[in-house]
Amino acid sequence: MNVQERYDAFLALTKELHALELVDGLLSWDQQTKMPPRGAALRADQMAVLSGIHHVTLTKGAMPDHLKALQDDDTSSLGDDAAVNLREVRRQFDRASRVPTDLVKEIARVQALSMEAWTEAKEASDFNRFAPFLEKTLGLKLQVADAIGYTGSRYNALHDEFEPGSRAEDVAVIFADLRKKLVPLVQAIAESRRAGTQKLMDGHFPVDRQEALGRDLLTSIGFDWEAGRIDVSAHPFCSGNLHDVRLTTRYDAKDLTKSLFGLLHEGGHGLYEQGFDPDHAGTPRAQAVSLGIHESQSLTWENIVGRSRPFWEHAYPVLTRHFPDLAGEYDLDQWHRQVNLVERSMIRVEADEVTYCLHVILRFELEMDLIEGRLTVRDLPEAWNAKMVDFLDLTPKNDAEGVLQDIHWAHAIFGYFPTYALGYLYAAQFWNTARKELPHWEETFRKGDFSPLREWQREKIHLMGQTYPSHELVRRVTGESLNPQYFLDYLRDKYTEIYDL
Protein backbone atom coordinates (compact mmCIF):
# COMPACT_ATOMS: atom_id res chain seq x y z
CA MET A 1 0.00 0.00 0.00
CA ASN A 2 1.28 3.44 -0.82
CA VAL A 3 0.56 6.35 1.51
CA GLN A 4 -2.65 7.36 -0.25
CA GLU A 5 -4.02 3.82 -0.30
CA ARG A 6 -3.13 3.42 3.35
CA TYR A 7 -4.87 6.68 4.22
CA ASP A 8 -7.97 5.69 2.23
CA ALA A 9 -8.15 2.40 4.13
CA PHE A 10 -7.71 4.31 7.41
CA LEU A 11 -10.48 6.71 6.39
CA ALA A 12 -12.91 3.92 5.50
CA LEU A 13 -12.38 2.41 8.94
CA THR A 14 -12.74 5.83 10.58
CA LYS A 15 -16.11 6.28 8.85
CA GLU A 16 -17.16 2.84 9.99
CA LEU A 17 -16.39 3.85 13.59
CA HIS A 18 -18.45 6.99 13.15
CA ALA A 19 -21.36 5.01 11.70
CA LEU A 20 -21.27 2.83 14.84
CA GLU A 21 -21.28 5.97 16.99
CA LEU A 22 -24.33 7.32 15.12
CA VAL A 23 -26.10 3.98 15.58
CA ASP A 24 -25.31 4.08 19.28
CA GLY A 25 -26.65 7.63 19.38
CA LEU A 26 -29.87 6.52 17.71
CA LEU A 27 -30.31 3.64 20.18
CA SER A 28 -29.91 6.10 23.01
CA TRP A 29 -32.30 8.63 21.41
CA ASP A 30 -34.86 5.87 20.95
CA GLN A 31 -34.40 4.68 24.52
CA GLN A 32 -35.17 8.15 25.83
CA THR A 33 -38.02 9.00 23.47
CA LYS A 34 -39.81 5.95 22.04
CA MET A 35 -38.74 2.65 23.57
CA PRO A 36 -41.43 0.70 25.45
CA PRO A 37 -40.56 0.32 29.16
CA ARG A 38 -39.74 -3.38 29.08
CA GLY A 39 -37.24 -2.88 26.25
CA ALA A 40 -34.53 -1.60 28.61
CA ALA A 41 -32.63 -4.85 29.18
CA LEU A 42 -32.48 -5.78 25.48
CA ARG A 43 -31.35 -2.25 24.67
CA ALA A 44 -28.55 -2.44 27.24
CA ASP A 45 -27.36 -5.67 25.60
CA GLN A 46 -27.43 -4.07 22.16
CA MET A 47 -25.44 -1.06 23.31
CA ALA A 48 -22.88 -3.28 25.06
CA VAL A 49 -22.41 -5.31 21.86
CA LEU A 50 -21.93 -2.16 19.77
CA SER A 51 -19.55 -0.68 22.30
CA GLY A 52 -17.47 -3.85 22.23
CA ILE A 53 -17.36 -3.85 18.43
CA HIS A 54 -16.39 -0.17 18.41
CA HIS A 55 -13.57 -0.81 20.86
CA VAL A 56 -12.22 -3.75 18.86
CA THR A 57 -12.49 -1.86 15.55
CA LEU A 58 -10.61 1.10 16.99
CA THR A 59 -7.89 -0.72 18.90
CA LYS A 60 -7.34 -4.08 17.17
CA GLY A 61 -7.09 -5.39 13.62
CA ALA A 62 -6.23 -3.00 10.81
CA MET A 63 -6.54 0.35 12.63
CA PRO A 64 -3.33 0.09 14.73
CA ASP A 65 -1.46 -0.97 11.57
CA HIS A 66 -2.78 2.01 9.62
CA LEU A 67 -1.92 4.42 12.41
CA LYS A 68 1.58 3.00 12.74
CA ALA A 69 2.23 3.00 9.00
CA LEU A 70 0.93 6.54 8.62
CA GLN A 71 3.18 7.65 11.44
CA ASP A 72 6.23 6.12 9.82
CA ASP A 73 5.38 7.24 6.30
CA ASP A 74 5.76 10.79 5.13
CA THR A 75 2.13 11.90 5.25
CA SER A 76 2.63 15.55 4.27
CA SER A 77 1.43 14.75 0.75
CA LEU A 78 -2.00 13.90 2.17
CA GLY A 79 -2.81 17.50 3.10
CA ASP A 80 -4.13 19.35 6.14
CA ASP A 81 -7.48 17.59 6.47
CA ALA A 82 -5.75 14.24 6.61
CA ALA A 83 -3.47 15.58 9.34
CA VAL A 84 -6.54 16.55 11.39
CA ASN A 85 -8.17 13.15 10.95
CA LEU A 86 -4.98 11.27 11.77
CA ARG A 87 -4.29 13.39 14.85
CA GLU A 88 -7.79 12.96 16.24
CA VAL A 89 -8.22 9.24 15.55
CA ARG A 90 -4.78 8.67 17.04
CA ARG A 91 -5.94 10.55 20.14
CA GLN A 92 -9.02 8.32 20.41
CA PHE A 93 -6.87 5.25 19.81
CA ASP A 94 -4.41 6.23 22.52
CA ARG A 95 -7.14 6.82 25.09
CA ALA A 96 -9.01 3.63 24.17
CA SER A 97 -6.01 1.33 23.97
CA ARG A 98 -4.37 2.46 27.18
CA VAL A 99 -7.25 1.62 29.51
CA PRO A 100 -7.27 -2.14 30.26
CA THR A 101 -10.45 -3.94 29.19
CA ASP A 102 -10.93 -5.30 32.71
CA LEU A 103 -10.98 -1.77 34.09
CA VAL A 104 -13.54 -0.67 31.48
CA LYS A 105 -15.76 -3.61 32.38
CA GLU A 106 -15.38 -2.97 36.11
CA ILE A 107 -16.40 0.67 35.64
CA ALA A 108 -19.45 -0.39 33.63
CA ARG A 109 -20.39 -2.83 36.40
CA VAL A 110 -19.92 -0.33 39.23
CA GLN A 111 -21.64 2.39 37.22
CA ALA A 112 -24.84 0.37 36.94
CA LEU A 113 -24.90 -0.17 40.71
CA SER A 114 -23.87 3.41 41.37
CA MET A 115 -26.72 4.81 39.24
CA GLU A 116 -29.17 2.69 41.15
CA ALA A 117 -27.74 3.75 44.53
CA TRP A 118 -27.77 7.40 43.48
CA THR A 119 -31.42 7.23 42.42
CA GLU A 120 -32.37 5.73 45.78
CA ALA A 121 -30.10 8.06 47.76
CA LYS A 122 -31.53 11.11 45.99
CA GLU A 123 -35.06 9.93 46.65
CA ALA A 124 -34.25 9.44 50.32
CA SER A 125 -32.05 12.57 50.29
CA ASP A 126 -29.31 10.56 52.00
CA PHE A 127 -25.78 10.97 50.67
CA ASN A 128 -24.47 8.16 52.89
CA ARG A 129 -26.26 5.57 50.78
CA PHE A 130 -24.43 6.79 47.71
CA ALA A 131 -21.02 7.48 49.28
CA PRO A 132 -19.56 3.92 49.05
CA PHE A 133 -20.34 3.79 45.33
CA LEU A 134 -18.85 7.21 44.71
CA GLU A 135 -15.70 6.16 46.58
CA LYS A 136 -15.44 3.06 44.43
CA THR A 137 -16.07 5.01 41.21
CA LEU A 138 -13.55 7.68 42.12
CA GLY A 139 -10.91 5.02 42.79
CA LEU A 140 -11.55 3.44 39.39
CA LYS A 141 -11.45 6.79 37.60
CA LEU A 142 -8.09 7.53 39.19
CA GLN A 143 -6.87 4.23 37.74
CA VAL A 144 -8.19 5.35 34.36
CA ALA A 145 -6.34 8.65 34.67
CA ASP A 146 -3.12 6.84 35.53
CA ALA A 147 -3.56 4.40 32.62
CA ILE A 148 -4.11 7.22 30.13
CA GLY A 149 -1.33 9.36 31.55
CA TYR A 150 -1.10 13.14 32.03
CA THR A 151 1.16 16.03 32.81
CA GLY A 152 0.35 18.36 35.71
CA SER A 153 -2.93 17.56 37.44
CA ARG A 154 -4.34 14.05 37.29
CA TYR A 155 -7.59 15.85 36.45
CA ASN A 156 -6.20 16.58 32.98
CA ALA A 157 -6.40 12.94 31.94
CA LEU A 158 -10.15 12.90 32.56
CA HIS A 159 -10.98 16.46 31.46
CA ASP A 160 -9.17 15.92 28.16
CA GLU A 161 -11.85 13.46 27.05
CA PHE A 162 -14.41 16.25 26.91
CA GLU A 163 -12.32 19.35 26.15
CA PRO A 164 -9.21 18.18 24.28
CA GLY A 165 -6.19 20.34 24.98
CA SER A 166 -7.79 22.21 27.88
CA ARG A 167 -5.80 22.02 31.13
CA ALA A 168 -7.10 22.03 34.69
CA GLU A 169 -4.37 24.48 35.74
CA ASP A 170 -5.59 27.08 33.21
CA VAL A 171 -9.24 26.40 33.97
CA ALA A 172 -8.57 26.89 37.68
CA VAL A 173 -7.06 30.35 37.11
CA ILE A 174 -9.88 31.43 34.80
CA PHE A 175 -12.60 30.10 37.10
CA ALA A 176 -11.08 31.72 40.20
CA ASP A 177 -11.13 35.08 38.42
CA LEU A 178 -14.67 34.48 37.17
CA ARG A 179 -15.95 33.57 40.61
CA LYS A 180 -14.39 36.63 42.20
CA LYS A 181 -16.27 38.88 39.77
CA LEU A 182 -19.55 36.98 39.48
CA VAL A 183 -20.25 36.86 43.21
CA PRO A 184 -20.50 40.65 43.60
CA LEU A 185 -22.53 40.97 40.35
CA VAL A 186 -25.06 38.46 41.66
CA GLN A 187 -25.09 40.33 44.97
CA ALA A 188 -25.71 43.66 43.21
CA ILE A 189 -28.63 42.19 41.25
CA ALA A 190 -30.10 40.68 44.45
CA GLU A 191 -29.93 44.09 46.12
CA SER A 192 -31.23 46.09 43.16
CA ARG A 193 -34.59 47.84 43.39
CA ARG A 194 -35.96 45.70 40.56
CA ALA A 195 -35.01 42.40 42.26
CA GLY A 196 -38.03 40.24 42.98
CA THR A 197 -40.41 42.20 40.73
CA GLN A 198 -40.80 39.20 38.37
CA LYS A 199 -41.95 35.76 39.45
CA LEU A 200 -41.65 32.37 37.76
CA MET A 201 -44.51 31.78 35.32
CA ASP A 202 -47.53 29.88 36.61
CA GLY A 203 -50.09 29.89 33.79
CA HIS A 204 -51.69 27.29 31.57
CA PHE A 205 -49.91 26.67 28.26
CA PRO A 206 -51.14 23.70 26.21
CA VAL A 207 -48.30 21.50 25.04
CA ASP A 208 -49.31 21.46 21.35
CA ARG A 209 -49.16 25.26 21.23
CA GLN A 210 -45.81 25.33 23.03
CA GLU A 211 -44.53 22.92 20.42
CA ALA A 212 -45.86 25.05 17.56
CA LEU A 213 -44.17 28.13 19.04
CA GLY A 214 -40.90 26.24 19.45
CA ARG A 215 -41.06 25.07 15.84
CA ASP A 216 -41.66 28.59 14.59
CA LEU A 217 -38.69 29.98 16.52
CA LEU A 218 -36.39 27.12 15.48
CA THR A 219 -37.43 27.71 11.88
CA SER A 220 -36.54 31.38 12.18
CA ILE A 221 -33.05 30.64 13.56
CA GLY A 222 -32.56 28.29 10.61
CA PHE A 223 -32.91 24.73 11.91
CA ASP A 224 -33.32 22.44 8.88
CA TRP A 225 -36.41 20.27 9.33
CA GLU A 226 -35.50 18.13 6.33
CA ALA A 227 -32.48 17.07 8.38
CA GLY A 228 -33.92 17.00 11.87
CA ARG A 229 -36.87 16.59 14.24
CA ILE A 230 -38.13 17.25 17.80
CA ASP A 231 -39.34 14.74 20.35
CA VAL A 232 -40.03 14.67 24.07
CA SER A 233 -37.66 13.22 26.70
CA ALA A 234 -37.20 13.55 30.45
CA HIS A 235 -33.76 15.12 29.98
CA PRO A 236 -33.43 17.32 26.86
CA PHE A 237 -30.57 16.57 24.48
CA CYS A 238 -29.45 16.82 20.87
CA SER A 239 -28.14 13.80 18.98
CA GLY A 240 -27.05 12.86 15.46
CA ASN A 241 -25.26 14.98 12.91
CA LEU A 242 -25.28 16.55 9.47
CA HIS A 243 -28.42 15.21 7.76
CA ASP A 244 -30.16 13.68 10.76
CA VAL A 245 -30.12 15.82 13.91
CA ARG A 246 -32.64 15.18 16.66
CA LEU A 247 -33.59 17.59 19.42
CA THR A 248 -35.63 16.74 22.47
CA THR A 249 -37.42 18.88 25.00
CA ARG A 250 -39.88 18.57 27.86
CA TYR A 251 -43.00 20.65 28.34
CA ASP A 252 -44.14 22.30 31.56
CA ALA A 253 -47.79 23.25 31.12
CA LYS A 254 -47.37 26.02 33.70
CA ASP A 255 -44.27 27.68 32.26
CA LEU A 256 -43.68 27.91 28.53
CA THR A 257 -40.21 29.44 28.93
CA LYS A 258 -38.79 26.04 29.92
CA SER A 259 -39.50 24.37 26.58
CA LEU A 260 -38.96 27.60 24.66
CA PHE A 261 -35.40 28.21 25.86
CA GLY A 262 -34.76 24.48 26.06
CA LEU A 263 -35.53 24.22 22.35
CA LEU A 264 -33.43 27.27 21.45
CA HIS A 265 -30.58 25.69 23.43
CA GLU A 266 -30.85 22.30 21.74
CA GLY A 267 -31.45 24.09 18.44
CA GLY A 268 -28.09 25.82 18.87
CA HIS A 269 -26.46 22.42 19.33
CA GLY A 270 -28.43 21.29 16.28
CA LEU A 271 -27.19 24.14 14.06
CA TYR A 272 -23.64 23.15 14.94
CA GLU A 273 -24.28 19.50 14.04
CA GLN A 274 -26.10 20.43 10.81
CA GLY A 275 -23.35 22.88 9.93
CA PHE A 276 -20.36 20.56 9.46
CA ASP A 277 -18.77 20.11 6.05
CA PRO A 278 -20.68 17.26 4.32
CA ASP A 279 -17.63 16.54 2.16
CA HIS A 280 -15.90 15.28 5.31
CA ALA A 281 -18.87 13.36 6.70
CA GLY A 282 -17.94 10.57 9.08
CA THR A 283 -14.48 11.92 9.94
CA PRO A 284 -13.18 14.17 12.77
CA ARG A 285 -12.86 16.95 10.19
CA ALA A 286 -16.70 17.13 10.31
CA GLN A 287 -17.30 16.58 14.02
CA ALA A 288 -17.61 18.76 17.12
CA VAL A 289 -14.29 19.94 18.47
CA SER A 290 -15.23 19.80 22.16
CA LEU A 291 -18.14 19.89 24.56
CA GLY A 292 -17.29 23.47 25.53
CA ILE A 293 -17.46 24.67 21.92
CA HIS A 294 -20.68 22.71 21.47
CA GLU A 295 -22.13 24.41 24.52
CA SER A 296 -21.05 27.83 23.22
CA GLN A 297 -23.25 27.29 20.17
CA SER A 298 -26.29 26.32 22.21
CA LEU A 299 -25.80 29.17 24.68
CA THR A 300 -25.43 31.69 21.87
CA TRP A 301 -28.90 30.84 20.58
CA GLU A 302 -30.52 30.27 23.96
CA ASN A 303 -29.14 33.29 25.79
CA ILE A 304 -27.14 35.78 23.75
CA VAL A 305 -29.69 35.73 20.91
CA GLY A 306 -32.75 34.19 22.54
CA ARG A 307 -32.87 36.44 25.62
CA SER A 308 -31.87 39.61 23.75
CA ARG A 309 -34.18 42.54 23.20
CA PRO A 310 -33.81 42.61 19.37
CA PHE A 311 -34.72 38.89 19.21
CA TRP A 312 -37.94 39.54 21.10
CA GLU A 313 -38.82 42.49 18.88
CA HIS A 314 -39.17 39.79 16.23
CA ALA A 315 -40.43 36.98 18.46
CA TYR A 316 -42.91 38.78 20.75
CA PRO A 317 -45.56 38.95 17.99
CA VAL A 318 -44.94 35.25 17.28
CA LEU A 319 -45.31 34.46 20.99
CA THR A 320 -48.54 36.39 21.38
CA ARG A 321 -49.97 34.91 18.18
CA HIS A 322 -49.61 31.46 19.77
CA PHE A 323 -50.60 32.69 23.26
CA PRO A 324 -52.80 35.78 22.83
CA ASP A 325 -53.53 36.03 26.57
CA LEU A 326 -49.86 36.76 27.31
CA ALA A 327 -50.12 40.13 25.55
CA GLY A 328 -52.39 41.34 28.37
CA GLU A 329 -49.96 40.23 31.04
CA TYR A 330 -46.62 41.31 29.57
CA ASP A 331 -45.72 44.05 27.15
CA LEU A 332 -42.46 43.60 25.23
CA ASP A 333 -40.35 45.23 27.98
CA GLN A 334 -41.92 43.20 30.73
CA TRP A 335 -41.50 40.01 28.71
CA HIS A 336 -37.84 40.80 28.06
CA ARG A 337 -37.34 41.21 31.82
CA GLN A 338 -39.33 38.04 32.48
CA VAL A 339 -37.02 35.92 30.36
CA ASN A 340 -33.96 37.47 32.03
CA LEU A 341 -34.99 36.86 35.60
CA VAL A 342 -31.93 36.41 37.84
CA GLU A 343 -32.24 34.61 41.14
CA ARG A 344 -29.87 32.66 43.33
CA SER A 345 -31.14 29.10 43.35
CA MET A 346 -30.15 25.66 44.51
CA ILE A 347 -30.32 23.65 41.29
CA ARG A 348 -27.78 24.05 38.50
CA VAL A 349 -30.04 23.04 35.62
CA GLU A 350 -32.59 25.68 36.64
CA ALA A 351 -30.05 28.50 37.05
CA ASP A 352 -30.02 31.70 34.95
CA GLU A 353 -27.07 32.89 32.89
CA VAL A 354 -25.66 35.09 35.69
CA THR A 355 -25.58 32.49 38.45
CA TYR A 356 -25.05 29.36 36.31
CA CYS A 357 -21.26 29.41 36.17
CA LEU A 358 -21.02 29.62 39.96
CA HIS A 359 -22.73 26.23 40.16
CA VAL A 360 -20.18 24.86 37.70
CA ILE A 361 -17.14 26.37 39.40
CA LEU A 362 -18.28 24.84 42.71
CA ARG A 363 -18.36 21.37 41.09
CA PHE A 364 -15.00 21.87 39.38
CA GLU A 365 -13.32 22.88 42.64
CA LEU A 366 -14.78 19.88 44.45
CA GLU A 367 -13.78 17.49 41.65
CA MET A 368 -10.23 18.85 41.74
CA ASP A 369 -10.08 18.43 45.52
CA LEU A 370 -11.38 14.86 45.26
CA ILE A 371 -9.04 13.87 42.46
CA GLU A 372 -6.01 15.53 43.93
CA GLY A 373 -6.72 13.91 47.32
CA ARG A 374 -7.47 17.04 49.34
CA LEU A 375 -11.06 15.99 50.01
CA THR A 376 -12.63 12.65 50.91
CA VAL A 377 -15.97 11.50 49.61
CA ARG A 378 -17.33 11.43 53.19
CA ASP A 379 -16.58 15.13 53.60
CA LEU A 380 -18.11 16.08 50.25
CA PRO A 381 -21.59 17.20 51.42
CA GLU A 382 -20.14 19.57 53.97
CA ALA A 383 -17.71 21.00 51.43
CA TRP A 384 -20.56 21.39 48.94
CA ASN A 385 -22.76 23.24 51.39
CA ALA A 386 -19.94 25.53 52.52
CA LYS A 387 -19.25 26.56 48.92
CA MET A 388 -22.94 27.16 48.26
CA VAL A 389 -22.90 29.70 51.08
CA ASP A 390 -19.70 31.32 49.77
CA PHE A 391 -20.82 31.46 46.15
CA LEU A 392 -24.57 31.94 46.31
CA ASP A 393 -25.40 32.71 49.94
CA LEU A 394 -27.65 29.65 50.09
CA THR A 395 -27.64 26.54 52.29
CA PRO A 396 -29.16 23.37 50.79
CA LYS A 397 -31.93 22.03 52.99
CA ASN A 398 -30.87 18.47 52.23
CA ASP A 399 -28.58 16.32 50.10
CA ALA A 400 -31.17 15.96 47.32
CA GLU A 401 -31.06 19.66 46.53
CA GLY A 402 -27.36 19.76 47.29
CA VAL A 403 -24.62 17.28 46.53
CA LEU A 404 -26.95 14.63 45.07
CA GLN A 405 -28.62 16.81 42.43
CA ASP A 406 -26.50 15.88 39.38
CA ILE A 407 -26.26 12.51 37.68
CA HIS A 408 -22.65 12.95 36.45
CA TRP A 409 -20.66 11.43 39.31
CA ALA A 410 -23.13 8.55 39.64
CA HIS A 411 -22.52 7.97 35.94
CA ALA A 412 -18.72 7.87 36.53
CA ILE A 413 -18.25 11.18 34.67
CA PHE A 414 -15.50 13.41 36.05
CA GLY A 415 -13.88 16.34 34.26
CA TYR A 416 -17.04 17.19 32.31
CA PHE A 417 -18.53 19.99 34.43
CA PRO A 418 -16.04 22.73 33.42
CA THR A 419 -17.18 22.48 29.79
CA TYR A 420 -20.56 23.99 30.76
CA ALA A 421 -18.90 27.19 32.01
CA LEU A 422 -16.29 27.21 29.24
CA GLY A 423 -19.27 27.26 26.88
CA TYR A 424 -20.46 30.55 28.42
CA LEU A 425 -16.99 32.05 28.08
CA TYR A 426 -16.47 30.90 24.49
CA ALA A 427 -19.96 32.09 23.54
CA ALA A 428 -19.41 35.60 24.89
CA GLN A 429 -15.96 35.89 23.33
CA PHE A 430 -17.23 34.68 19.92
CA TRP A 431 -20.17 37.04 20.20
CA ASN A 432 -17.91 40.00 20.93
CA THR A 433 -16.17 39.35 17.61
CA ALA A 434 -19.34 38.48 15.67
CA ARG A 435 -21.20 41.65 16.56
CA LYS A 436 -18.26 43.74 15.41
CA GLU A 437 -18.07 41.83 12.14
CA LEU A 438 -21.86 42.00 11.72
CA PRO A 439 -22.56 45.67 12.48
CA HIS A 440 -26.23 45.38 11.42
CA TRP A 441 -27.03 42.50 13.74
CA GLU A 442 -29.67 44.37 15.72
CA GLU A 443 -31.61 45.35 12.59
CA THR A 444 -31.51 41.85 11.14
CA PHE A 445 -32.55 40.26 14.48
CA ARG A 446 -35.51 42.66 14.69
CA LYS A 447 -36.61 41.51 11.24
CA GLY A 448 -36.33 37.88 12.28
CA ASP A 449 -33.36 37.32 9.98
CA PHE A 450 -30.70 35.38 11.88
CA SER A 451 -28.90 34.11 8.80
CA PRO A 452 -25.95 36.54 9.03
CA LEU A 453 -25.02 35.26 12.51
CA ARG A 454 -25.72 31.65 11.58
CA GLU A 455 -23.57 31.93 8.46
CA TRP A 456 -20.84 33.64 10.46
CA GLN A 457 -20.85 30.75 12.95
CA ARG A 458 -20.95 28.23 10.16
CA GLU A 459 -17.95 29.68 8.35
CA LYS A 460 -15.82 30.38 11.44
CA ILE A 461 -16.77 27.46 13.67
CA HIS A 462 -19.03 24.75 12.25
CA LEU A 463 -17.22 24.12 8.97
CA MET A 464 -13.93 23.86 10.87
CA GLY A 465 -14.93 20.63 12.62
CA GLN A 466 -11.93 19.44 14.64
CA THR A 467 -9.39 21.32 12.52
CA TYR A 468 -8.20 23.24 15.60
CA PRO A 469 -8.49 22.36 19.30
CA SER A 470 -10.88 24.65 21.16
CA HIS A 471 -8.29 27.04 22.59
CA GLU A 472 -6.74 27.49 19.14
CA LEU A 473 -10.15 27.91 17.50
CA VAL A 474 -10.99 30.69 19.96
CA ARG A 475 -7.69 32.41 19.21
CA ARG A 476 -8.19 32.19 15.44
CA VAL A 477 -11.81 33.39 15.48
CA THR A 478 -11.41 36.18 18.05
CA GLY A 479 -7.73 37.09 17.76
CA GLU A 480 -6.91 36.30 21.39
CA SER A 481 -6.79 33.49 23.93
CA LEU A 482 -9.75 32.63 26.10
CA ASN A 483 -10.58 35.68 28.19
CA PRO A 484 -13.46 35.57 30.71
CA GLN A 485 -13.75 39.35 30.65
CA TYR A 486 -15.97 39.21 27.54
CA PHE A 487 -18.52 37.18 29.42
CA LEU A 488 -18.35 39.47 32.44
CA ASP A 489 -18.73 42.53 30.21
CA TYR A 490 -21.70 40.96 28.44
CA LEU A 491 -23.41 40.28 31.77
CA ARG A 492 -22.59 43.68 33.25
CA ASP A 493 -23.86 45.60 30.22
CA LYS A 494 -27.03 43.56 29.89
CA TYR A 495 -28.04 43.32 33.55
CA THR A 496 -27.09 46.89 34.46
CA GLU A 497 -29.88 47.87 32.12
CA ILE A 498 -32.38 45.14 33.02
CA TYR A 499 -31.93 45.50 36.78
CA ASP A 500 -31.15 49.22 36.66
CA LEU A 501 -27.94 48.64 38.66
**Catalytic residue annotation:** 266
Per the CB < 8 A criterion, the answer to whether 494 and 424 are in contact is no
Cα distance between residue 16 and residue 50, in whole Å: 12
Find the DSSP H helices in 168-241.
168-191, 207-221
Q: Which of 453, 455, 447 is nearest to 435 (CA)?
A: 453
Q: Rounded CA gap, 86 and 90, in Å? A: 6
Please state, in angstroms and as integers, the Cα–Cα distance from residue 465 to each residue in 24, 180, 286, 468, following that order.
21, 34, 5, 8
Three-state DSSP at 489 gives helix
Q: Which amino acid, one-letter code, is at 221? A: I
Q: How far is the CB of 286 from its own copies (least distance, A)?
A: 12
Q: How far is the CB of 55 from its own copies (least distance, A)?
A: 13
> What sections of 78-167 are H helices per DSSP?
80-98, 101-124, 127-148, 155-159
In terms of CB distance, is 247 or 412 closer to its own copies?
A: 247
Q: Nearer Cβ to its own copies, position 35 or 103?
A: 35
- Minimal distance, residue 285 CB to its own copies, in Å: 16
Q: How far is the CB of 162 from its own copies (least distance, A)?
A: 25
Q: Is 193 exposed, middle or buried (0-12, 13-18, 19+ CB in 10 A)?
A: exposed
In the complex, least distance from residue 93 CB atom to its own copies, rounded to whole angstroms: 19
SS3 of residue 438 by DSSP: coil
Please identify, using beta-carbon distances, which residue of 15 and 215 lies nearer to its own copies. 15
The residues that touch its own copies, with contacts defined as CB under 8 A, are 15-16, 19-20, 22-23, 26-27, 30, 34-39, 41-43, 45-46, 49-50, 53, 224-229, 240, 242-245, 281-282
Q: What's the Rg (C-alpha) of the chain?
A: 23
Kindly tell me which of 262 and 282 has the beta carbon lying closer to its own copies: 282
Instruction: Indicate the residue among 45 and 120 with the shorter CB distance to its own copies.
Output: 45
| DSSP assignment letter at 198 | S
Rounded to 10 deg, the angle between the 356-371 and 127-148 helix axes is: 70
CB of 395 to its own copies, least distance (A): 42
Q: Which residues are within 8 A (CB) of 468 and not within 5 positions of it... i.e. 6 or more apart?
A: 289, 476
Q: Which amino acid is at 85?
A: N
Q: Which is nearer to its own copies, 166 or 239 (CB)?
A: 239
